[in-house]
Amino acid sequence: MSRKLGHVIIIILLILPFSSSFSIDTPPAPVLEYNASSTLSQSSIIRGPTVNLVTNHSALIFWRTEGPTDATVHYGLNASLLESASNSTLDSNHRIALSDLQIGSTYWYQVRSNGTSSSVYDFKTAPADGEPFKIVVIGDNRPGMGNWDRQPWVFYQLAEMIAEERPHLVIFTADYVWEVTEVHEDNLIAWKAFTDIADSIGHYAPLYGVIGNHDDGATTGERRLEYFFDAFELVNEPSTYYSFDYAGVHFTGLDSEVWGLWGRITGDQYDWLSNDLATTSYDKKFVFSHRPLYPVSHINSALDVNKAERDRLQTLFEETNVTAYFSGHDHCYNRLTVNGVVHFIAGGGGARLYENPWGGLYHHYLKVEVSASKIDFVSINRYGNPVDMYSLPDEGPIEIDIRPFGNESSKPAGTLPEIFFSQVPQTTYYSWDSESNATALTGLPSAVGSHTLDIYAENDEGVWSHIRYVLNSTPLVTLNTNTTTSEELPMVPIIVTGVLIGVVAVVILFVLKKRL
């Protein structure tokens, strides 16, 4: 063999592995089982499929195709997918109801439109009342202003983890996008970025969402709910609040963004809620909404925007034995139990975290495992590690917490902190600066500087809890401390304003006179 021929053979041997005939790992091109004789157009699946509104015997499968197609769901208790349900009416949005499903079972399914098939996914039907099941709560995945057309990477991570959890259902406590604008095309882009990720969970479990302050076009001057309703398949649409039962638990979703009543659960919605909570026969009740009753960073702009209404809502929860309330809005994790009602803020779904005196600054989702005798709550951070673990019934001593300003906060003298107990105490004592115990809480002492507040609470088994906070008094009057009396302060702006109005009036009269 000549030296030249040897070079040619070496070159051919080097090239061959990169040629197509040697690319044995290359996946085959998708084979579409297209029926050439069909009059239907070829269309690809551009959203879903997702499983929705699952009960112990039914489910709704949703998907969207690029153009109008037929629709079939193949499903079954194993990967053979022996059963099917179809709709021959051509459409782009496909909703196929599956009925007569077996209780507490895993089903596999695949959708098909004009011969184009989806992957095979699985979901669980609801178990019998009282049987164990798992839910996940996640909130505030939204991007920031500069990234409005995509989603935070953390949300991708958390969604992947949640899908692997295979929960029975997932609750989203809102703020899905940066904003809803007047530009329809921009809204489609922003919401597609969200649904692309949310649907990766929705393949396997029904998603239930409520609306957040970023999701309905508050900045456009009109409420635009069409994108929210497109993202979720919900009960009672177009109502933005709803309830449903699942495996012995009553779930109620609320709308904290009612137009003109932001941060308030009032009017018709409150009346509906009162009836909803009073009439359910289930003793486990989960309520969820976007804004918390006891915020840690959005103080005075959550459901505490109207404190009387906030307190009325809490009283309703206590009287109707609500088990837990889930929210977001504050970008952190927080748990606070008030008189037996556990409040979770699960706002770490991907948005930038918000500093607050209570901490909880980590991205997370909340896993809730329910059984007849116990409920386990655990927050899972983005690395898959459990952070806060809590169980009901809570047989521990009373937990004590403070709002609306946290430990080591500074407030004007006299300011009264709100103290909350996880259960109604038999006895409580308060003591400022280690002085004698008082049965009523008074405000921050007047002496400027650091003060200690000791709080003691006794539960119905005679077990005492104690916590100490350090709070700083600032001067009561901080504006213009050289002024002799505060009564004189309002006079200054009134006189200045009066003089200014007079000068402007003289100028206007002068100009008008010259023009005439």
64 is a site residue for Fe ion (CB under 5 A): no
**Structural tokens at position 370:** 């329910």
CB atoms within 10 A of CB 427: 12
Nearest to Fe ion of 219, 275 (CB atom):
219
| Closest CB 514 distance from Fe ion, rounded Å | 54
| Closest CB 291 distance from Fe ion, rounded Å | 7
| Closest CB 182 distance from Fe ion, rounded Å | 20
Dihedral through CA 422, CA 423, CA 429, CA 430, nearest 10?
30
Nearest to Fe ion of 168, 364 (CB atom):
364
Nearest to Fe ion of 50, 151 (CB atom):
151
330 is a site residue for Fe ion (CB under 5 A): no
The full DSSP string for 11-39 is HHHHHGGGSGGG-TTSPPPP-----TT--
329 is a site residue for Fe ion (CB under 5 A): yes
Q: Which amino acid would we find at residue 347?
A: G
Q: Tokens 């004590």 identify what position?
A: 400
Q: How far apart are the first and last CA of the chain?
A: 112
As a whole number of angstroms, the distance between CA 283 and CA 240 comes to 24
| Closest CB 390 distance from Fe ion, rounded Å | 24
Applying CB under 5 A, the span of 86-94, 168-176, 203-211, 418-426 interacting with Fe ion comes to 168-176
| Closest CB 270 distance from Fe ion, rounded Å | 21
Q: Which of residues 210-229 bind Fe ion (CB under 5 A)?
A: 212-213
As a whole number of angstroms, the distance between CA 28 and CA 21 comes to 12
Q: Are 120 and 109 in contact (CB under 8 A)?
A: yes
| Closest CB 213 distance from Fe ion, rounded Å | 4
**In what helix (H) or strand (E) does residue 337 lie, and over which residues does it extend?**
strand 333-338
Nearest to Fe ion of 329, 451 (CB atom):
329
Applying CB under 5 A, the span of 80-88, 172-180, 299-307, 338-346 interacting with Fe ion comes to 172-180
Q: Are 344 and 137 in contact (CB under 8 A)?
A: yes
| Closest CB 40 distance from Fe ion, rounded Å | 43
Helix, strand, coil percent content, the chain, rounded in steps of 5: 25, 30, 45
Nearest to Fe ion of 295, 417 (CB atom):
295
| Closest CB 261 distance from Fe ion, rounded Å | 15
Applying CB under 5 A, the span of 116-124, 228-236, 238-246, 322-330 interacting with Fe ion comes to 322-330
**Structural tokens at position 356:** 């607050």
Nearest to Fe ion of 310, 329 (CB atom):
329
Applying CB under 5 A, the span of 75-83, 96-104, 209-217, 313-321 interacting with Fe ion comes to 209-217
As a whole number of angstroms, the distance between CA 61 and CA 96 comes to 5
| Closest CB 243 distance from Fe ion, rounded Å | 22
DSSP label at residue 319: H
Q: Where are the beta strands (DSSP E) in 433-474?
A: 449-458, 464-474
DSSP label at residue 491: H
DSSP label at residue 126: -
Contacts (Cβ under 8 Å, ≥6 apart) of 249: 282, 284, 285, 286, 323, 370
Nearest to Fe ion of 48, 212 (CB atom):
212
| Closest CB 354 distance from Fe ion, rounded Å | 10
| Closest CB 257 distance from Fe ion, rounded Å | 9
Nearest to Fe ion of 60, 198 (CB atom):
198
Q: Tokens 């209570």 identify what position?
A: 358
Applying CB under 5 A, the span of 102-110, 175-183, 313-321, 497-505 interacting with Fe ion comes to 175-183
Nearest to Fe ion of 142, 367 (CB atom):
142
C-beta nearest to Fe ion: residue: 329
As a whole number of angstroms, the distance between CA 242 and CA 250 comes to 11
Applying CB under 5 A, the span of 221-229, 327-335, 451-459, 499-507 interacting with Fe ion comes to 327-335
Applying CB under 5 A, the span of 27-35, 178-186, 328-336, 468-476 interacting with Fe ion comes to 328-336
Q: In what order do the strands lie in the sheet with 242-246?
A: 242-246, 249-253, 284-288, 324-327, 341-346, 333-338
Applying CB under 5 A, the span of 167-175, 219-227, 311-319, 336-344 interacting with Fe ion comes to 167-175
User: Could you say which of 73, 121, 136, 175 contacts Fe ion (CB under 5 A)?
Assistant: 175
| Closest CB 347 distance from Fe ion, rounded Å | 8
Q: Helices 307-319 and 267-279 sit at what angle, rounded to 10 degrees?
A: 10
DSSP label at residue 333: E
Nearest to Fe ion of 49, 328 (CB atom):
328
**Structural tokens at position 160:** 């992947």
Task: State the Cα angle at 342 between 256 and 318, rounded to 5°.
Answer: 80
Nearest to Fe ion of 257, 309 (CB atom):
257
Q: Which of 387, 401, 396, 394 is nearest to 356 (CA)?
A: 401
**Coil, strand or helix at 62:** strand
**Coil, strand or helix at 267:** helix
| Closest CB 220 distance from Fe ion, rounded Å | 17
Nearest to Fe ion of 213, 473 (CB atom):
213
Site size for Fe ion, by CB under 5 A?
Answer: 4
Applying CB under 5 A, the span of 108-116, 308-316, 324-332, 419-427 interacting with Fe ion comes to 324-332
Nearest to Fe ion of 69, 213 (CB atom):
213
- R_g over Cα of the chain: 30
Interacting residue ranges for Fe ion, rule: CB under 5 A:
175, 212-213, 329
